[in-house]
Structure 1
Amino acid sequence: MIKKLLLFTVAVLCPVLSSAQVIYETISSLKLQEDREIKIQLPRNYEENKEKRYPVAIVLDGDYLFEPVAGIADYYSYWEEIPEMIVIGVNQDGTRRQDASYDERQFLPAKQGAAFFEFLGMELLNKIDEKYRTSTFRIIVGHDFTSNFINYYLLKPNPVFQGYINLSPDLAPEMANRVTSALATAQSKKWYYLATGSEDIPQLQESIFSFSNQLKGINNELVSFKFENFEHATHYSLVGKAIPSAMESIFEAYRPISQKEFNEVLLQTSVSPTAYLKDRYESINNLFGIEKQIRINDFMAIHQAIEKTRRWDEYKELSKLAADNFPRTMLATYFEARYEEETGNPKKAMRTYQNAYGQQKIAFLTVDFMMEKANAIKRDFGY
């Protein structure tokens, strides 16, 4: 069953994966006293974007989880639903139980489990940071035994991961209480995703439901928690459904302005549309450690909000943002001209529209469009 599911997933995502760079490496670990194989997917155009930094996703059980995570990461980032990221798969075929082991008294990583914990947190991440252009934002993914294991990082005073994707975890004793306490007292932003399926292993499903009820009671604005129980999903098939949902949940703030936001926030509240746009992208930069240019579609959403609410003063600041993000295009010129046109300065608006001559077209803005706007003012006022 699992092989058929993974073959289907790879077949669907094959055209996507073929466009991304996948590298196979062997790391010599001092902590483990042995070599470990990893898979690395770099974003599209990684080599061309010399200044760009990327979030990192560490995927345990990389021998079967890497391809679904890497495929979704590449596909979703192509459509601007999530940021591009570096995906690292850690192969654990034949070692996963030992890697995820814990002692029977304190229920903390022991022996090879302790060594594997240090390998990931101290050796692997350092090597990736040294070799590739990484941002400060990291997520980690695990399934049953390894899903339990990823939570040990959350128990540290300064966790090295901000996002945790738990796929049907086989929880150690006290893990539910420990994670609940860690999230309840978290001092920095954390994303926690938990999934099971209606046909998951019964013992796991029971503990996961109990765990989710504990987490739902957390009152901490710094914690984003999402739990899902997928109908008709087994212990293995839930993986294919949970990964895209988890990515959407973690990177919700990264996505373009939605129709719901447009209708309920930009049109129905007193919030400044331009300030909303600016704060949104500052939040993206702060949360995910990346410098994200404001999307042209988001500029157009703010433009439409200003037109509908007739808050013409908003165009002044929006023009400055456009000049910073799309210099040498007509975008800033158009917003400046609309401000002058609607605030009683038609002659200045006409001249501003004319300034678009020689600038680059963008979105619906062309030289013909801008000159026609100028000529319309000229006809109306007899200039």
Structure 2
Amino acid sequence: MLGSQEVGRDYHIYIRLPENYDELEETKFPVVFLLDGDSTFPMLAPLHLFMNYDDQIPEAIIVGIAYGGFDPGVNKRHVDFRVIMDDGSAGGALPFLAMLENELIPQIDARYRTEPTRRILFGQSRGGSAVLQAAYLKPGLFWGHVASNPGREPDTRLLFGMDREVDAKDKDGYLIVASGSDDRDYLRGTALEWRDTIASRDDLPWDTRFIDIEGGTHAANLGDAYRSAWRIMFSDRPAKVTETQP
């Protein structure tokens, strides 16, 4: 449990350590932070183990950021992943990012053998929008940014283009959007707009990629998005989807 002073709420934090972590005393590991950990952690933590077996993807420390339930009275993703609410009031994105930067990440780095230069943020749907917001608002906090079927929040700046300059001379890391071809029409259209306006740019501080998951739906292909993104970031082996590189 993490009691956040930045946000003023508690979070359930789930952690999966790499296989043989205790024996590999000198090894530091990439860390992936999963938004919506109530659902994404149980799906992706075991998948990562199988990816290590079959794809030779490096092991990683998996951190699920969860709420402890799905009831809106407990689950505040609709606040934490928004910069501006529908009524124009401030959302919780900035305090949430402050929680990550000032509270959770330092605790994970202090307790475990992490590799801070390989820190990854992964999110699905509205959580995918939050990943893009994090890239825009805190471009150096994460090395890898993976947004699976991101939502279309009006405050998700990177979905429609950067409106301020970002120093791209030291390009490092990844900004990846994965989209299922059978996702809801308006979300699929948003993802294709991102592909055409963002993934084609060469003035951003990341390697931008678009993953097209043929036949993929909004949430059921979450594992495909995760696996494909890791194969891009850590392997030269092609995934069984279309990976678009500008």
**Please, what TM-score do these two structures have when normalized by structure 2?**
0.82
Separation (CA, whole Å) in 2 of partners of 1:235 and 1:221: 27
Task: State the AA in 1 paired with 2:66.
Answer: N
SS in 2 for 1:232: coil
Separation (CA, whole Å) in 2 of partners of 1:124 and 1:42: 16
Given the alignment, which residue of 211, 214, 219 partners 2:194? 211
Q: How far off its partner does 1:72 sit?
A: 2.8
Count the aligned residue pairs.
227
1:355-379 alpha-carbon deviations (Å, 9 max, x no partner) = xxxxxxxxxxxxxxxxxxxxxxxxx
Task: State the AA in 2 paired with 1:64.
Answer: S
- Which protein has the bigger helix share? 1
Task: State the AA in 2 paired with 1:110.
Answer: A
Point out the more displaced range, 109-118 or 47-56: 109-118
In structure 1, the residue matched to 2:50 is: 75
Unaligned runs of 5+ in 2: 238-246
Q: CA RMSD in A?
A: 2.6
Pair 1:88 & 2:68 matched: no
Q: How far off its partner does 1:238 sit?
A: 2.4
Pair 1:63 & 2:59 matched: no
Task: State the AA in 1 paired with 2:232.
Answer: S
In structure 2, the residue matched to 1:99 is: 80
Pair 1:115 & 2:115 matched: no
In structure 2, the residue matched to 1:138 is: 119
Task: State the AA in 1 paired with 2:215.
Answer: H
- Tell me if structure 2 keeps the 8 A contact 1:56–1:88: yes
Aligned CA distance change for structure 1 residues 186 and 203 (closer, same or farther; 3 Å): farther
In structure 1, the residue matched to 2:132 is: 151
Pair 1:39 & 2:14 matched: yes
Task: State the AA in 1 paired with 2:21.
Answer: Y
Given the alignment, which residue of 105, 117, 120 partners 1:125? 105
In structure 1, the residue matched to 2:220 is: 237
Separation (CA, whole Å) in 2 of partners of 1:175 and 1:220: 13
Structure 1 segments (4+ residues) deviating >6 Å: 180-184
Unaligned runs of 5+ in 1: 1-25, 256-383
- Tell me if structure 2 keeps the 8 A contact 1:167–1:196: yes
Task: State the AA in 2 paired with 1:134.
Answer: T
- Tell me if structure 1 keeps the 8 A contact 2:4–2:10: yes
Pair 1:193 & 2:176 matched: yes
Question: Where does 1:1-383 land on structure 2 (aligned, <5 Å)?
Answer: 26-79=1-54, 81-92=56-67, 93=70, 94-103=75-84, 110-136=90-116, 137-156=118-137, 159-173=140-154, 174-179=157-162, 185=168, 187-219=170-202, 223-252=206-235
1:298-317 alpha-carbon deviations (Å, 9 max, x no partner) = xxxxxxxxxxxxxxxxxxxx
- Tell me if structure 1 keeps the 8 A contact 2:175–2:208: yes
**Please, what TM-score do these two structures have when normalized by structure 1?**
0.54
Separation (CA, whole Å) in 1 of partners of 2:169 and 2:151: 23
Aligned CA distance change for structure 1 residues 158 and 242 (closer, same or farther; 3 Å): closer
Aligned CA distance change for structure 1 residues 157 and 235 (closer, same or farther; 3 Å): closer
Q: How far off its partner does 1:219 sit?
A: 2.1
In structure 1, the residue matched to 2:241 is: none
With a CA cutoff of 8 Å and minimum separation of 6, indicate the structure with the bigger relative contact order: 2
Structure number with bigger Rg: 1
Aligned CA distance change for structure 1 residues 133 and 244 (closer, same or farther; 3 Å): same
Separation (CA, whole Å) in 2 of partners of 1:74 and 1:180: 39
